[in-house]
């Protein structure tokens, strides 16, 4: 009897608990929120997407034809062949000025940027030391480089110091790369970036900081937590969150710019970022200074919601940004709460293993500019009602 080549897939699906099954869902954006495309066309207030400043829906109505006219829908080739357009160059210059960096590389997605970046910065002679909760794309990039990979306890500088000290003692000349994020999207936590940079300077390690969820929201004028810190060697950021577009960038200084141009295969051998997305990102980047009151109001609303959740008996959700995790525990309970909130007209994603550890399922509440004022009250009252059942 021949071996069944699909047996592994069937077995994996049979082992997967029903509470962990994922389903694709289609939503149509509209002025009031998101409309469930099937089956009912129900209007839901969006508490799930990463469109923190509401720029994605604004862009949907204003940048389409103009963005395409700025350079076409597709770049047609890699940046080193014919894919680099004037709009790319304008965006890179604007990002350099905004972030205080010398060079920016544009990528079609944040996932591609992270995988490509780590594969270029590390090799089999290196050690990559990554935060335990780093995004899958960063870990995949480290593994694809062939480097040894260690995971330090989440935001634990003492653990990182021990690992760097031991590594430097055992292999004084070894290249060390430290990887972390400035806003962990499922935990809502942020590291001590100054402490990270100080340790990397002390042990001669390269520091890579993923600012995908922080740019536009955290740091001075939304410039992220790495802004103004010279020992953060590499900053990655995405355009599909607070900047309301799509694609990503890697910002560096000095020799690292020349190095990545020559040795980052994910940049050199991939079709360049769509000029239409570059134009939309550029337009939204120009709007950011005028949205400073909205950004401050968003952070204030985030803190107020955290305080209300504590008053209801929940542990204080960590962090200070617009991602507010509500720890539930079990997967089934999290899915039931998601359903109750949807019945109340709110779209709040239940996050389950393997995205988070077993027993740590949660609601990932995302506050965004433009949500109806009464929507947070509906959220709180629904959670209260569930507590009293």
**Mean pLDDT for the stretch of residues 362-369:** 93
Catalytic residue among 48, 49, 50, 245: 50
φ, ψ for residue 2, nearest 5 deg: -65, 150
Q: Which two tokens stand for residue 17?
A: 């608990």
**Mean pLDDT for the stretch of residues 91-100:** 96
- Per-residue pLDDT at 65: 47
Catalytic residue among 213, 270, 284, 369: 213
Q: Which two tokens stand for residue 145?
A: 């480089």
- Per-residue pLDDT at 385: 84
- Per-residue pLDDT at 13: 75
d(CA 65, CA 63): 6
d(CA 110, CA 237): 7
Confidence of residue 2 (pLDDT cuts 50, 70, 90): low
**Higher pLDDT residue, 298 or 28?**
298
Catalytic residue among 137, 182, 185, 274: 185
Confidence of residue 38 (pLDDT cuts 50, 70, 90): low
- Per-residue pLDDT at 4: 65
Which 3 state secondary structure label does DSSP give 76? Answer: coil
185: annotated active-site residue: yes
- Per-residue pLDDT at 101: 95
Asked whether residue 285 carries a pLDDT value surpassing 50, the answer given is yes
d(CA 376, CA 246): 27
**Do the beta carbons of residue 283 and residue 131 sit within 8 Å?**
no
**Higher pLDDT residue, 313 or 6?**
313
Q: Which two tokens stand for residue 151?
A: 């995971």
Asked whether residue 167 carries a pLDDT value surpassing 50, the answer given is yes
- Per-residue pLDDT at 3: 59
- Per-residue pLDDT at 370: 87
Rounded mean pLDDT of the chain? Answer: 88
181: annotated active-site residue: yes
d(CA 281, CA 348): 26
Catalytic residue among 51, 187, 210, 211: 210
44-53, 209-218, 225-234, 342-351: which range is least confident on average?
44-53
- Per-residue pLDDT at 323: 95
- Per-residue pLDDT at 85: 86
- Per-residue pLDDT at 61: 47
241: annotated active-site residue: yes
* % of the chain at pLDDT higher than 70: 88
284: annotated active-site residue: no
Confidence of residue 186 (pLDDT cuts 50, 70, 90): very high
Asked whether residue 6 carries a pLDDT value surpassing 60, the answer given is no
130 burial level (CB within 10 Å; 0-12, 13-18, 19+): buried
The whole-model pTM stands at 0.86
d(CA 138, CA 126): 15
What DSSP state is assigned to residue 316? P
Catalytic residue among 63, 241, 270, 369: 241
- Per-residue pLDDT at 5: 52
- Per-residue pLDDT at 8: 59
Question: Domains, the chain, ranges and CATH?
Answer: 24-58+292-387 (3.90.1150.10), 63-289 (3.40.640.10)
d(CA 187, CA 196): 19
* % of the chain at pLDDT higher than 90: 64
Catalytic residue among 131, 181, 187, 211: 181
**Mean pLDDT for the stretch of residues 251-273:** 90
Confidence of residue 93 (pLDDT cuts 50, 70, 90): very high
179 burial level (CB within 10 Å; 0-12, 13-18, 19+): buried
- Per-residue pLDDT at 40: 64
210: annotated active-site residue: yes
Asked whether residue 82 carries a pLDDT value surpassing 90, the answer given is no
């Amino acid at each position: 009897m021949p071996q069944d080549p699909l047996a592994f897939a069937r077995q994996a699906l049979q082992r997967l608990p029903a509470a962990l099954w994922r389903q694709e869902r289609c939503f149509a954006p509209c002025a009031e929120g998101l409309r469930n495309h099937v089956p009912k066309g129900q209007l839901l207030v969006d508490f799930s997407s990463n469109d923190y400043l509401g720029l994605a829906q604004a862009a949907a109505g204003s940048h389409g034809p103009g963005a395409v006219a700025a350079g076409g829908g597709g770049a047609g080739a890699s940046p080193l062949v014919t894919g680099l357009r004037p709009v790319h160059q304008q965006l890179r210059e604007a990002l350099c000025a905004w972030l205080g960096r010398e060079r920016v590389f544009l990528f079609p997605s944040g996932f591609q940027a992270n995988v490509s970046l780590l594969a270029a910065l590390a090799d089999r002679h290196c050690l990559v030391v990554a935060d335990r909760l780093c995004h899958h794309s960063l870990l995949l990039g480290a593994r694809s480089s062939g480097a040894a990979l260690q995971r330090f306890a989440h935001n634990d500088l003492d653990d990182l110091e021990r690992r760097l000290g031991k590594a430097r003692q055992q292999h004084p000349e070894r290249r060390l790369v430290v990887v972390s994020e400035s806003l962990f999207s499922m935990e809502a936590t942020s590291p001590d970036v100054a402490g990270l940079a100080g340790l990397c300077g002390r042990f001669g390690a390269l520091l890579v900081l993923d600012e995908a969820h922080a740019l536009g929201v955290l740091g001075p004028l939304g410039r992220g937590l790495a802004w103004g810190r010279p020992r953060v060697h590499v900053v990655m950021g995405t355009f599909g969150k607070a900047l309301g577009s799509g694609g990503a960038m890697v910002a560096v200084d000095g020799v690292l710019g020349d190095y990545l141009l020559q040795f980052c295969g994910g940049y050199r051998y991939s079709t360049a970022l769509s000029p239409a997305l570059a134009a939309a990102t550029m337009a939204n980047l120009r709007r950011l200074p005028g949205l400073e009151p909205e950004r401050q109001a968003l952070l204030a609303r985030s803190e107020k919601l955290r305080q209300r959740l504590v008053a209801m008996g929940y542990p204080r959700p960590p962090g200070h940004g617009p991602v507010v995790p509500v720890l539930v525990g079990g997967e089934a309970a999290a899915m039931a709460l998601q359903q109750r909130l949807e019945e109340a007209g709110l779209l709040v994603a239940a996050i389950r293993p393997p995205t988070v550890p077993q027993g740590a399922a949660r609601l990932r509440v995302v506050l965004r500019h433009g949500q109806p004022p009464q929507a947070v009250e509906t959220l709180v009252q629904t959670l209260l009602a569930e507590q009293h059942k």
